[in-house]
Amino acid sequence: EAGVAQSPRYKIIEKRQSVAFWCNPISGHATLYWYQQILGQGPKLLIQFQNNGVVDDSQLPKDRFSAERLKGVDSTLKIQPAKLEDSAVYLCASSFALGPRNEQFFGPGTRLTVL
Amino acid sequence: TQLLEQSPQFLSIQEGENLTVYCNSSSVFSSLQWYRQEPGEGPVLLVTVVTGGEVKKLKRLTFQFGDARKDSSLHITAAQPGDTGLYLCAGANNYGQNFVFGPGTRLSVLP
**Closest C-alpha to A58, from B2, B44, B94, B88:** B2
Q: Kindly state whether A113 is in contact with chain B, defined as any CB-CB distance less than 8 angstroms.
A: no
d(CA B65, CA B53): 5
Mean pLDDT of A26-31: 93
Whether residue A1 is predicted with pLDDT greater than 90 in this model: the reply is no
Residues facing residue B4 across a β-bridge: none
Tell me what pLDDT residue A8 has.
97
Mean pLDDT of A22-44: 94
Q: Which residues touch A94 (CB under 8 Å, ≥6 apart)?
A: A4, A25, A26, A29, A31, A32, A33, A104, A105
**pLDDT, tens digit, for every residue of A54-100?**
999 999 999 999 999 988 899 999 999 999 999 999 999 999 987 77
In order of A45, A65, A69, A80, the CA distances from A61 in angstroms are 11, 6, 17, 11
CB-closest option in B44, B92, B103 to A100: B92
CB atoms < 10 A from the CB of B8, how many?
13
Contacting residues of A for B43, CB less than 8 Å apart: 43, 91, 104, 106
Tell me what pLDDT residue B68 has.
93
R_g of chain B computed on alpha carbons:
13
Whether residue A108 is predicted with pLDDT greater than 80 in this model: the reply is yes
Q: Are A97 and A78 in contact (CB under 8 A)?
A: no
Whether residue A52 is predicted with pLDDT greater than 90 in this model: the reply is no
Mean pLDDT of A19-39: 95
> Above pLDDT 90, what percent of chain A?
84
Q: A98 to chain B: nearest residue by CA?
A: B96
**Touching A: B residues 67-96, CB under 8 Å:** 88, 90, 92-96
Task: Please give the DSSP secondary-structure letter assigned to residue A51.
Answer: T
Q: Which stretches in chain B have pLDDT values below 70?
A: 1, 96, 98
As to burial, measured by CB atoms within 10 angstroms (0-12 exposed, 13-18 middle, 19+ buried), residue B30 is middle
Tell me what pLDDT residue B99 has.
82
Whether residue A50 is predicted with pLDDT greater than 80 in this model: the reply is yes
Tell me what pLDDT residue A98 has.
76
**Nearest-5° angle of CA A46, CA A50, CA A53?**
85
Q: Give first-to-last CA distance, chain B, whole Å.
A: 40
